[in-house]
Amino acid sequence: MITRTIHNALGAVCPALLVLACGCVYASAPNDAVINNTSHFDWLTAAPFAPTFAVLDTESSLGPYASSTKTITLKDLVNMHGHPCDGLVTAACGLSAGLKILYPDGVIDRTDTGCITNNSLCFGDIAAYLTGGRIRFGTQKIDPGLGNAFIVYRFSTREAVKVSLKPGVFPEEVLRLERAIRAGDFTIDDMRRCQELQWDYARNLMQRPASESFDVERMPSFDWKPDVYEHQGKRGDIINKNILRETTQGATP
């Protein structure tokens, strides 16, 4: 058991200290070559339905809109998020399906999009990166009860779309192992088994169109209300984002 390993490393420890140590067990577990070898994860971008994202931003801190888009791949998401995981792939595939409804031309405007996820590290990171939503600007929200679902919102059109992983898609065995690991009741072999099964699930998710794994629904009566945040501010880069378009339009006969 992992608790036994930690106990041995610490020598004689009191029960209270052991409980505290268990809370840090994931962070203190040794890395191994699988995690460090990024080429091991080439399947992330090689899968037949691995999503990519075209995004539009502003070109500097006070605007205006950039003249071209950027392309984001799953490897970009890993670099931002810190690790490849089932949550990253679930969020990317689900958000891809939802954002296609908000942006039929395929270009996600990251100055105009909000997102809502549960409070998982993985879902929240990926949603913020792909939409440009941030809690400190009131454009990213957390709903702890949302589960394996995502809501994306386009501020200029007030359109909202909810994307939910279909029941039965996420493997029961992974769920069981994740619960055991979070509870501190596991071995290193359990952790490795869980990782492999999570990555198997992620690979499989990208073997078919997202529409087969997710339910997508518009939310016509949805009303965006920012979460309360003490230091909420205003994004400087979007206040004049349209200035070149307006100038161009004004000059056109």
Nearest partner of 128 among 150, 102, 106, judged by Cα: 150
Cβ closest to Zn ion, residue 2 vs residue 122: 122
Name the segment binding Zn ion (CB under 5 A); options: 119-127, 130-138, 139-147, 203-211: 119-127
Does residue number 122 form part of the binding site for Zn ion (CB under 5 A)? yes
Q: How far apart are CA 9 and CA 5, in angstroms?
A: 6
**Could you tell me how many residues of this chain bind Zn ion (CB under 5 A)?**
3
How near is the Cβ of 208 to Zn ion at its closest, in Å? 22
Phi, psi for 92 (deg, rounded to 5): -65, -45
**Which alpha helices (DSSP H) does 11-81 contain, by range?**
15-23, 25-28, 33-36, 43-46, 74-81
The answer to whether 128 touches 140, Cβ cutoff 8 Å, is yes
Name the segment binding Zn ion (CB under 5 A); options: 52-60, 79-87, 167-175, 179-187: 79-87
Cβ closest to Zn ion, residue 129 vs residue 186: 129
How near is the Cβ of 205 to Zn ion at its closest, in Å? 14
Name the segment binding Zn ion (CB under 5 A); options: 65-73, 117-125, 144-152, 175-183: 117-125
Distance set, CA 234 to CA 61, 62, 136 (Å): 12, 12, 8
How near is the Cβ of 198 to Zn ion at its closest, in Å? 9
How near is the Cβ of 61 to Zn ion at its closest, in Å? 29
Contacts of 206 (CB under 8 A, 6+ apart): 47, 48, 49, 50, 51, 89, 93
Name the segment binding Zn ion (CB under 5 A); options: 115-123, 129-137, 187-195, 218-226: 115-123
Query: Which residues in 14-33 contact Zn ion (CB under 5 A)?
Result: none
Name the segment binding Zn ion (CB under 5 A); options: 43-51, 111-119, 120-128, 153-161: 120-128
How near is the Cβ of 206 to Zn ion at its closest, in Å? 16
Does residue number 85 form part of the binding site for Zn ion (CB under 5 A)? yes
Does residue number 124 form part of the binding site for Zn ion (CB under 5 A)? no
How near is the Cβ of 39 to Zn ion at its closest, in Å? 19
Phi, psi for 171 (deg, rounded to 5): -65, 135
The residues of the shown chain that bind Zn ion, judged by CB under 5 A, are: 85, 87, 122
